[in-house]
Structure 1
Amino acid sequence: MPVETYNRYSRWLHWLIAGLIIFMIILGWRLEDEDAGRFARFQLHKSIGITILFLSFIRLGLRFAYKAPPEVDGPKWQMAAAKAVHWGFYVAMIGLPLTGWAMVSASPMAIKTVLYGIMPWPHLPVPASEQAHDAWEAAHGILAKLITYVLIPLHIGAALKHHVIDKDNTITRMVPGLTPKPLLNWRWIIPAATVGIAIISGALIFGGAKPETPPTSEAVTADVAPVEGIASSSEASEMVSAVAASEVSSLSVTAPAVTKWTVDKAKTRLDFVTSFQGGNIRGRFSDYSADIRFDPVALDTSSIKVVINLNSVSTDDAERDNTLKSDSFFNVASHPKATFEAKSFTKISETRFVAKGKLTLHGQTKSFDLPFNLKITESGVKKVANVTAQADLDRLGFGVGSGDWASTDQIPADVKLDFTLSASAVK
């Protein structure tokens, strides 16, 4: 006896793959949005693509293992078109993940893939070059347009035509019990929910808010004179030169004892801002030590030493964090810490200073000037210092980013440092 519907495994796989494909289309439209979730969206896009690849092979196997319902009677050209669309779906469902996989594998950037942040996934053995990457990207784009703008509209349109106009059993083979009348049959929940959930989740997952300055930083900077732009180390040097003579003359020979400060880590953030493929990335370091002895009226005896554990880097993406810790960037196995030490300071204004020191990073030590704003408040016997510091750091000058990552096409050379510090005077 001929079967009237597809087997239950094929039916569930049909709607699961359909939902994932629609989700991927919506997610794909958001891949170029320049926000904090862009890197995570790319990783999820790759993970689901590989999932669709395996599910498609299973679906194809079930197609041969189980008898399919007989074809619906109709003009020969419609039957030929239906077969072409169905096999076109198989080509796209298998070809899209494969070309995407090949595109990632051919990229000179050699970005690792970890499926769902858990399972490392190997690259295909394809040549790695810009030309090869672009060729695979073009093929991937053609298949994406084919399934989005040709196959899906034809498939949905034909199914509705059979159900509403022809009133045959085409759709019921995938949704058993769904009859042409009444049209608002409760079994429409399956396709409607599949499409609705896929569209909403694809549009909202890893939402696109751009990285913002943390609230603690805003609270601090509200009372501190703002830094006019992000000052680079060279700009800080120019400011130092401009005021050096007057600063030296203002130093008192009998300067008072310098104040020692204890950092409040709950209100302190050591952040950096960069971008990857045009999308902003804000990271931070959570583990550090600070020895701060500073007084605005005793600059000649003031000093700062901050030691950062680079292994504590976090950008809210585990795979990206592991890449930063690898030998391609910080190489924490050989250079686990970064150190900034300054014993020379220049006063620019009542609230603005420049720390002239040495920065050790990635095994290299170089001069580095750090401009900062300072606001000291006193309440009774308690004295609190609020500091904001911003500067540009040339990562390539310290050898951070080797091999393909030394290119500035994807990641700029300048990384913006954005520090917010709160400290109490030690009695």
Structure 2
Amino acid sequence: MASSIGYQNSAIVYVGHDIPYPSTILIESIFMTNARYSMTAMILHWLIALALIFQIALGWQFEALERGANLFGLYQLHKSVGIAILVLSLARLFLRYTRPRPAAFADNIWSERAAKFVHAAFYAVMIGGPLTGWMVVSTAKIDVPTLLFGIIPLPHLPIGRPFHEPAEILHELLAWVAIALLFLHVAGALRHQFFKQENILGRMIPWALERRGPLLLTLTSLFAALGFAFWMGSSITATGSGTNDKPALNGNVVSNPEATPNLPKEAEESAEADEQSTVVEEEIPASDVKQKLANWQVSRGGRLGFSVDWNGTPINGSFGRWTGDIRFSPDDLAGSTIIVNVDLGSATTSDAQRDEMLQGDSFFNIAAHPKAVFSSSSISNVGGDKYRARGTLKLNGKSQPLTLDFRLTIDGTNARVSGTSRLKRTAYGVGSGEWAATDEIADNVSVSFDFAAKNKD
């Protein structure tokens, strides 16, 4: 007996029984009429709707917020949600052309064409918007890495810098088109539902929800969810990417939260003391040596931290790997020396994207200069257990004078050291190009250290 499979008003019609039919399509066709979409299509529709409204509200914030740590975190979230919309939209487009769907409600041919145009434009926005955003990130002057939702790294597209400005213009234009399409889509759906008495909204709602109450109540709940998505996008602050109040990583090997000082305040006080101190620094002559120089080994659990303001928001971080070569005696300051080597690739601010950016050419440029080195030239006592080491810091291929103020207590073969310093990042070329300006990222960087050491002799 001859058999055939065909479409009528976008609903499946099949004749005969002897032609095999794919089981997944067969099951879906049995439970689907020309009045309802499939459950998969419903889920994708509402997920995309929620994500798109959240994304529009989130993007709206960029016009009002100053650039800074918080805005950096919001951009990372914006990129993550955008790629999620891209994936969901591609899945929805695939489903649209591989699964049966309800027939369109159309008054005439012009109404049908208008509906098709809006749907096509929506796909262009939902796919083109994330793609143009991806192009903007991939061609930006500053190489900012993307880690989707803080987990999945997103590579840059292999395109050149000339694509940046056109992609940026198109990306912004598509955002406005998306807003217009949302209004048209909602207005059209409400017209069919309440003015033409066609249950166009009911066929995009799962039966389980429709059975629980009147359609109007269900729709109200769904629109409330969409409103909540807009509120979330317009009010989220992404503070988790803005500041770092967690104990930073170790000085040599492991972290030591108990040794964490108040970085900004202590460093500021130290800087003022360096500029205004009236204490007379006295170096003890070598002829008065009472105790020989000792080699000190830095113990596990120390900390080397830094802090800088980004539009008024403190960014706190630390270096996870650093070593100290210390020859020191309070009775032989003239012969004492301090050399500290810092692995710049171990810098962390508790934000993976920002940490990767720090390692790039615009900041530490670790590919060319992986380490920073401080070498003391003189050490003096400024009263009691307080000392001042003057020397040179070599960072990012540049050498500049640097002063460290520290407190030292020695108990037999054990010593405890804590101190601060302050340097100007622009003097070392840290923050080049767009980031060289100091109106956003402050020039002054506070440095703090706290560690224990043991006499090896």
Distance in 1, matches of 2:103 and 2:61, equals 40
Is it true that 1:121 corresponds to 2:156 in the alignment? Answer: yes
User: What aligned pairs does 1:270-309 form with structure 2 within 5 A after superposition?
Assistant: 270-274=304-308, 281-294=315-328, 298-309=332-343
Report the identity percentage. Answer: 32
- Consecutive unaligned residues of structure 1, counting only runs of 5 or more, are none
Measure, in 1, the Cα distance between the counterparts of 2:410 and 2:183.
66
Q: For residue 71 of structure 1, give the secondary structure of its aligned residue in structure 2.
A: coil
1:208–1:321 distance in 2 versus 1, CA, 3 Å: closer
| Maintained 8 Å contact 1:351/1:374 | yes
**Residues 1:19 and 2:54 aligned together:** no
Of 41, 55, 71 in structure 1, the residue corresponding to residue 104 of structure 2 is 71
Aligned to 1:48: 81
Q: Which amino acid aligns with 2:82?
A: G
Worse-superposed segment, 99-108 or 76-85: 76-85
Give the deviation of 1:273 after TM superposition.
3.5
* Residue matched to 1:174: 204
Per the TM alignment, residue 372 of structure 1 is displaced from its structure 2 partner at its CA by 1.9
Letter in 1 for 2:159: L
C-alpha deviation, 1:109, in angstroms = 2.2
Letter matched to residue 339 of structure 1: V
Structure 2: unaligned runs, 5 residues or longer: 1-7, 10-33, 249-255
Task: Tell me if structure 2 keeps the 8 A contact 1:11–1:174.
Answer: yes
| Contact persistence 1:393–1:416 (CA under 8 A) | yes
Asked if structure 1 preserves the Cα contact closer than 8 Å seen for 2:118 and 2:185, the reply is yes
Q: SS state of the match for residue 202, structure 2?
A: helix
1:10 aligns with 2:41: yes
User: Which protein has greater RCO, CA pairs closer than 8 Å, 6+ apart?
Assistant: 1
TM-fit CA distance, 1:318: 3.8
Shift of 1:299: 2.9
Please say if residues 35 and 211 of structure 1, whose CA atoms lie closer than 8 Å, have aligned partners that are also in contact. Answer: no
**Residue 374 of structure 2: which of 337, 340, 349 is its match?**
340
Computing the radius of gyration over CA atoms, which structure comes out larger, 1 or 2? Answer: 2
Separation of aligned partners in 2, 1:218 and 1:169: 64
Task: For residues 365-410 of structure 1, give each alpha carbon's deviation from its aligned partner in whole angstroms, at most 9, with x where no partner exists.
Answer: x2422232426386xx686534131311435x445567x5775489
Q: Partners in 1 of 2:424 and 2:67 — Cα distance?
A: 22
- SS in structure 2 of the partner of residue 127 of structure 1: helix
Is 2:182 the partner of 1:152? yes
The one-letter amino acid of 1:173's match is R
Q: Is the 8 A contact 2:297 2:454 kept in 1?
A: yes
Distance 1:109 1:384 in 2: 43
TM-score by length of 2: 0.69
Q: What is the TM-score with the length of structure 1 in the denominator? A: 0.73
Say what the alpha-carbon RMSD is for the aligned residues.
Answer: 4.6
8 Å Cα contact 2:266/2:420 also seen in 1: no
- 1:189-246 Cα offsets, whole Å, 9 max, x none, are 7776677578659937663653348497896657xx94545739xx95x669x76xx4
Structure 1 segment 8-407 matched on structure 2, within 5 A: 8-29=39-60, 32=65, 36=69, 38-72=71-105, 85-113=118-146, 117-125=152-160, 127=162, 133=165, 136-148=167-179, 150-156=180-186, 159=189, 163=193, 168-177=198-207, 178=210, 182-183=214-215, 203=236, 207=240, 210-212=243-245, 214=247, 221=261, 226-228=266-268, 231=271, 246-248=280-282, 253-257=287-291, 258=293, 261-266=296-301, 268-274=302-308, 281-294=315-328, 298-326=332-360, 329-350=363-384, 353-364=387-398, 366-374=399-407, 376=409, 384-395=415-426, 397-398=427-428, 400=430, 404=433, 407=436
Contact 1:326 1:332 in 2 (8 A): yes
Distance 1:415 1:84, change over 3 A: farther
* Cα distance in 2, alignment partners of residues 34 and 229 from structure 1: 28
Structure 1 residues 181 and 399, CA, compared in 2 at 3 Å: closer, same or farther? Answer: closer
- Counterpart of 2:253? none
Whether the 8 Å CA contact 2:42–2:206 is kept in 1: the answer is no
* Cα 1:249–1:271 shift into 2, 3 Å: closer
- Alpha-carbon offset, residue 147 of structure 1: 2.8
1:122 positional shift: 1.4
> Number of residues paired by the alignment?
408
